[in-house]
């Protein structure tokens, strides 16, 4: 799987990356290029998926970009590692299984840093669950399958300023919070975290990918 590392270019404009993602998606779907992981840090932006409700954006002055992924409204910005796996899916297109694979890759990554993370029943993403505390989401996930090829992906809070989530109801969930790796005592750059996440993604996504001999 090839890597399109936009982190080396600094923070990226959302519209420019979205256009780049869609061009890459078309090429992967057509078999013109290899499966790719896009690694990104965005300029501040709020995006709204297909399940966004008006009440999820209580501040009418928040500029929101509608986008064709699942999930509700979320925030992307400095200190957050965003990964878009663009892969051609082999066999059954099981979106739930694919989301679980992304979650597991992040759970395994966080375990390397001594962070115990997991899933919450009925809620997508990766969570920090502690007795007597609100559940806190550390990684949001929103994906789309089109032409048997995946789009969008995950957003992991590494050193994110969590105050930027306060203008929305993140992912439409009112009885939970958000957290970053920094808040949990891990101080790492996005490049360092990405380098350790990529192998976990490659391992978890291998079963979804079209075998090389079928793309030759």
Active site residues: 171
Give the whole-angstrom CA distance, residue 95 versus residue 110.
23
Torsion, CA 37, CA 41, CA 44, CA 48, rounded to 10: 20
Tokens 């509700």 appear where?
A: 72
Would you tell me how many other CB atoms lie within 10 Å of the CB of residue 187? 9
C-alpha angle 67-210-17 in degrees, rounded to nearest 5: 30
Measured distance between the N- and C-terminal CA atoms of the chain, rounded to whole angstroms? 14
């Amino acid at each position: 799987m090839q890597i399109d590392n936009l982190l080396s270019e600094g923070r990226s404009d959302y519209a420019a990356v979205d256009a780049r993602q869609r061009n890459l998606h078309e090429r992967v779907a057509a078999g013109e290029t290899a499966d790719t992981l896009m690694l990104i840090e965005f300029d501040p932006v709020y995006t709204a998926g297909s399940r966004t409700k008006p009440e999820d954006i209580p501040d009418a002055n928040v500029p929101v970009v509608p986008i064709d992924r699942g999930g509700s409204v979320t925030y992307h910005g400095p200190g957050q590692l965003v990964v878009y796996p663009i892969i051609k899916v082999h066999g059954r297109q099981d979106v739930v299984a694919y989301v679980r694979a992304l979650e597991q890759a992040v759970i395994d990554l966080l375990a390397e840093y001594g962070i115990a993370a997991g899933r919450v029943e009925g809620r997508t993403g990766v969570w920090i669950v502690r007795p007597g505390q609100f559940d806190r989401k550390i990684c949001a996930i929103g994906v789309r399958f089109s032409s048997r090829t995946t789009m969008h992906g995950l957003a992991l809070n590494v050193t994110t300023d969590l105050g930027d989530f306060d203008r929305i109801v993140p992912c439409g969930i009112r009885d939970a919070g958000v957290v970053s790796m920094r808040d949990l005592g891990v101080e790492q750059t996005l490049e360092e975290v990405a380098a350790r996440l990529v192998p976990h993604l490659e391992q978890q996504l291998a079963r979804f990918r079209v075998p090389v001999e079928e793309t030759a």
